[in-house]
Amino acid sequence: MNRKEPLIRLAKRDDLGTMNAWIIRIVSIFAALILFAGLIVSVGYNPVSVYVAMIGGALGSPLNIQQTIKIMIPLLGASLAIAPAFKMKFWNIGVEGQITVGGICATYFALTFQNSWPSGVLLPVMCLAAAIGGGLWGMLPAVFRAKWGTNETLFTLMLNYIAIGVVKYLQGGPWEKVPKGTQMIERFAQTARMPNVWGVTAGGFIVLALVIFMYCYLRFTKQGYQIAVVGESEATARYAGINVGRVIVRTMFVSGAIAGLVGFIVVSGINYTLSDSVAGGVGFTGITVAWLAQLNPIGMVFISMLLAVLTKGASTINTLTHNALPESMSDMLTGLILFCMLASEFFIRYRMIFRTRQKEAAK
């Protein structure tokens, strides 16, 4: 063997346990924090004190924890909605719109019946309407994909803008509050508001239930198995006798319905009104969460908590520094974490073999 060996060789590895894989992922989060520290220093602040203040702002008092959980609830819900679709390799970029449609459906019943129906009737109806509305909105691109093979990424993405456009029309038109011209919908009456538990909307429990549901659904049910098979290979699925079109449509209904529920939780439990920013970007951030959690619903709980802490912490930092450190720094940090965690997948799949070590091993 006379050819010079490269300094580093890569070999696929399959001996890495789940535990070690997660250690690498957690290390990558710290790597992102260190990279970001450089950025903080460049604006003239001490990164350690910034991080400490961020954690204090997110978790330092019961109120802060409540507010962090409030950020986490829709984010976790959105990532749960994404999970079954992505597992099927159906790239549902439309959760933002599905949340919005859920919010519209819930708001319709809230505005129409808030003064005539009791809460006990109104809230379940709003909840159901939101789930069905979101589900149908999600099903639309699935039907097109199943029947005509349209590109679901573009289709779901475009549907977001339509849903948000509809809200813009409603808040500046038929649902606008008096006096007109404000582009705002009135705040719901108490009957249409979900109660709070420990200072956080009861919708949190819906999302927690969804975590368990989604975990079991993907892992233990026949439908969950079909989703996995379709995701691995549509041809295999077809060969195994699975009606691929049906699985796609059904799964997207589930995905959209969960997103719709998130819309209900936001309008009825958090904002108490509908606006064009009802989804507020969680439909997209949820993709990050779902991806970082490897589509594992339990993992999503932790990742969404991490991002919620970052968001809340960044807002605290923004206040403490008189706006010198922008709130958008949480987005930058999230991006860095995503980048580092995706990079870490490389080290999880491959091991690097250095030249010297190789020689020693050869001896």
Maximum CA extent, the chain: 88
**Looking at beta carbons only, is 49 or 358 nearer to other proteins?**
49
**Looking at beta carbons only, is 263 or 297 nearer to other proteins?**
263
Cβ–Cβ < 8 Å for 305, 207 = no
CB 161, min distance to other proteins, A: 15
Strand runs (DSSP E) across 108-230, as ranges? 196-197, 200-201
Instruction: State how far Cα 215 lies from the chain centre.
Output: 15
Terminal-to-terminal C-alpha distance of the chain:
14
Q: Side chain identity at 225, as an amino acid letter?
A: Y
Contacts of 164 (CB under 8 A, 6+ apart): 96, 97, 100, 276, 279
Question: Cα 67–71–76 angle (5° rounding)?
Answer: 135
Using CB under 8 A, list all residues that contact other proteins.
Answer: 34, 37-38, 40-41, 43-50, 53, 61, 63-64, 67, 70, 172, 179-184, 186-187, 271-273, 275, 277-278, 280, 315, 317-325, 327
CB 53, min distance to other proteins, A: 5
Residues in the chain: 363
Phi and psi torsions of 351, nearest 5°: -115, 150
**Looking at beta carbons only, is 94 or 313 nearer to other proteins?**
313
**Looking at beta carbons only, is 181 or 241 nearer to other proteins?**
181
CB 93, min distance to other proteins, A: 23
**Looking at beta carbons only, is 21 or 39 nearer to other proteins?**
39
CB 315, min distance to other proteins, A: 8
| Closest residue by Cα to residue 78 from 311, 306, 282 | 282
**Looking at beta carbons only, is 83 or 278 nearer to other proteins?**
278
CB 321, min distance to other proteins, A: 6
CB 271, min distance to other proteins, A: 5
